[in-house]
Amino acid sequence: FELEMDLRKALAENELSLWYQPQVDLRTGRIVSSESLLRWTNGAKGYVSPGIIVSVAEKSGLISSLSTWVVNTALRQWSENRAAGLDLTMSINFSVSNLQERELPEFVDQALRTWNVPADKIVVEITESAVMDDYEKSIDTLKRLKEIGVKLSLDDFGTGYSSMSHLRMLPLDEIKIDLSFIKNMLQHKDDEKIVRAIIELGHNFDLEVIAEGVENQETADRLNEIGCDKIQGYLVSPALPRDQFQTFCDEFG
């Protein structure tokens, strides 16, 4: 409850921020996109993880204000990056209850116009559990988001109950292989087999495949060999505040 009051205050007083983690195209070695990640350092409690922020927001009716803040901030900063010469794709995370909001696609459409962002520069990243909640309603929301022109990425791929049926049912552009499969794939042959299978599966559905949690060059090299399209992880960089992210991209080349 205390956290709920703090979050209300944080939203009102603009204490939250978005940080950005770069994503690299394995063929070209260039940064092509970033994932925006919610960050909050509370005076008394210190760092509060995005998972906790989102669950507090969902329980206290703040989720809609939170996602309004996230979408507006991400798109405004996309425009600022663009003005500074950085023309990347950006993914934005949406939670379970976001997909249950009827007005979400109209809101996103409006925000894209407000901040003058081409829809195809934005990727909506959803988790498998987010899709599970009310499947019919989620699919309807996702289809309407696609009609606006944004891309869709399915996060944590391979860990949920119904990864396969999502491929059939959802209008996806990208799947993100969960870091639990990536972390030890060089040591554990079974993990590598799963990663190979997910890449092949994704490509058969004409989807881009990105691996998250890539921490070393050997893993990146192996992923490149087996056809993975993109990587994200500490090997490239952790999430960075916007100004540092921009400097990082400039220096990365």
CA distance 54 to 96: 9
State the binding partner of 6 from ligand G, Na ion, none, CB within 5 to 8 A by kind: none
Q: CB 108: neighbour CB atoms within 10 A? A: 24
CB of 34 to ligand G, least distance (A): 11
CA distance 215 to 238: 10
Pattern 128-157, ligand G, x by CB under 6 A: ---------------------------xx-
CA distance 89 to 246: 13
Pattern 155-194, ligand G, x by CB under 6 A: xx----------------------x---------------
Which range of residues in 40-48, 149-157, 189-197, 219-227 is near Na ion by CB under 5 A? 149-157
98 in contact with Na ion (CB under 5 A): no
Which range of residues in 1-9, 31-39, 111-119, 165-173 is near ligand G by CB under 6 A? 31-39
- Residues whose CB falls within 8 Å of the CB of residue 75, separated by 6 or more in sequence, listed in order: 111, 112, 114, 115, 117, 122
- For 114, the 3-state DSSP assignment is helix
125 in contact with Na ion (CB under 5 A): yes
156 in contact with Na ion (CB under 5 A): no
CB of 109 to ligand G, least distance (A): 19
Burial category of 116 from C-beta neighbours within 10 Å (exposed 0-12, middle 13-18, buried 19 and up): exposed
Nearer to ligand G, 38 or 199 (CB): 38
CA distance 126 to 107: 17
Contacts with ligand G by CB under 6 A lie at 35, 37-38, 49-51, 54, 70, 93-95, 127, 155-156, 179, 212-215, 233-234, 239
